[in-house]
């Protein structure tokens, strides 16, 4: 089973993904926590290129293909083998990030991106996707605090320095996707306390497991 977490910067995806991973493991199930971009040897290099401010302006088309190269490598080297071993795989960002950031954000047509996503992911689709929804101003505030705390303002600050308008488009894009695929997406209010969000994550996962086993 593949579970993904999506949302704008600072929405708390990584925290929830880690909490879910730990909880599943404590319950005796085999699980793998991963993220995009990154998570394969080539992917780590691509991540550094994609997120470093030093890269300057990467053209939207080049950026798209770098994310897709990262995904192809990630699925072939990491996600595919883990699913083969019956692990519950959790990914912090996946195919929907491309639809939203490169589609709603950069303006590429969704059918074109869906086709590329299908190839890059080898048709490995999430069973369940948690969208942690947050107003863009709140997300940017959180992401900025986190970067300052972790001293990654220079290394990985490229996206956070994008305009508020861009982040609004991203949020709206996610909500639109979630509406289109109601069976896969669970949208949660990320302004709630972390523990409350996590209770909802667990509840929805259990429901999904019950449904898929029925």
Assigned token pair, 100: 């939203």
- Interface with ligand TYD includes 36 (CB under 6 A)? yes
Among 93, 142, 167, 171, binds ligand TYD (CB under 6 A): 93
The answer to whether residues 36 and 92 touch, using CB atoms and an 8 Å cutoff, is yes
Q: Which is nearer to ligand TYD, 191 or 209 (CB)?
A: 191
117-156: contacts with ligand TYD (CB under 6 A):
156
With CB under 6 A as the contact rule, the residue among 159, 168, 191, 200 that binds ligand TYD is 159
173 lies in the binding site for ligand TYD (CB under 6 A): no
Nearer to ligand TYD, 53 or 209 (CB): 53
Q: How far is the CB of 133 from ligand TYD (least distance, A)?
A: 14
Contact track, ligand TYD, 8-27, x by CB under 6 A: -x---xx-------------
* Residue 5 within binding range of ligand TYD, rule CB under 6 A: no
| Least Å from the CB of residue 198 to ligand TYD | 17
Q: Under a CB-based contact definition with an 8 Å cutoff, are residues 39 and 74 in contact?
A: yes
Helix axes 136-150, 164-180, angle to 10 degrees: 120
Contact residue for ligand TYD among 16, 31, 98, 147 (CB under 6 A): 98
Pairing of β 88-92 and β 2-6: parallel
165 CA to centre of own chain? 20
When binding is defined by CB under 6 A, the residue of 24, 40, 67, 201 that contacts ligand TYD is: 67
Q: What is d(CA 137, CA 59) in angstroms, rounded to the nearest whole number? A: 26
Helices (H), the chain: 13-26, 41-51, 60-74, 80-84, 95-97, 110-120, 136-150, 164-180, 194-213
Shortest spacing between CB 214 and ligand TYD, in angstroms? 32
b/e string for 19-52 if b means 16 or more Cβ within 10 A? bbbeebeeeeeebbbbbbbbbbeebeebbeebbb
| Contact stretch for ligand TYD (CB under 6 A) within 7-15, 79-87, 125-133, 175-183 | 7-15
The Cα–Cα gap between 214 and 208 comes to 10
What is the contact surface with ligand TYD in residues (CB under 6 A)? 9, 13-14, 36-37, 51, 67, 93, 97-98, 101-102, 156, 159
């Amino acid at each position: 089973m593949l579970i993904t977490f999506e949302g704008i910067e600072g929405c708390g995806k990584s925290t929830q993904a880690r909490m879910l991973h730990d909880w599943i493991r404590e319950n005796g199930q085999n699980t793998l926590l991963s993220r995009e971009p990154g998570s394969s040897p080539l992917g780590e290099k691509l991540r550094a290129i994609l997120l470093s401010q030093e890269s300057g302006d990467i053209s939207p088309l080049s950026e798209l293909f770098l994310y897709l190269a990262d995904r192809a490598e990630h699925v072939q080297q990491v996600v595919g083998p883990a699913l083969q071993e019956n692990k519950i795989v959790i990914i912090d960002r996946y195919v929907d990030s491309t639809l939203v950031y490169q589609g709603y954000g950069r303006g590429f047509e969704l059918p074109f991106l869906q086709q590329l996503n299908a190839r890059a992911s080898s048709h490995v689709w999430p069973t369940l996707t948690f969208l942690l929804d947050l107003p863009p101003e709140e997300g940017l505030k959180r992401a900025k605090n986190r970067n300052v705390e972790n001293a990654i303002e220079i290394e990985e600050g490229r996206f956070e320095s994008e305009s508020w308008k861009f982040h609004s488009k991203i949020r709206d894009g996610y909500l639109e996707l979630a509406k289109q695929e109601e069976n896969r997406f669970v949208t949660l209010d990320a302004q709630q306390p972390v523990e409350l969000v996590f209770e909802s994550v667990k509840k929805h996962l259990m429901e999904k497991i019950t449904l898929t086993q029925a």
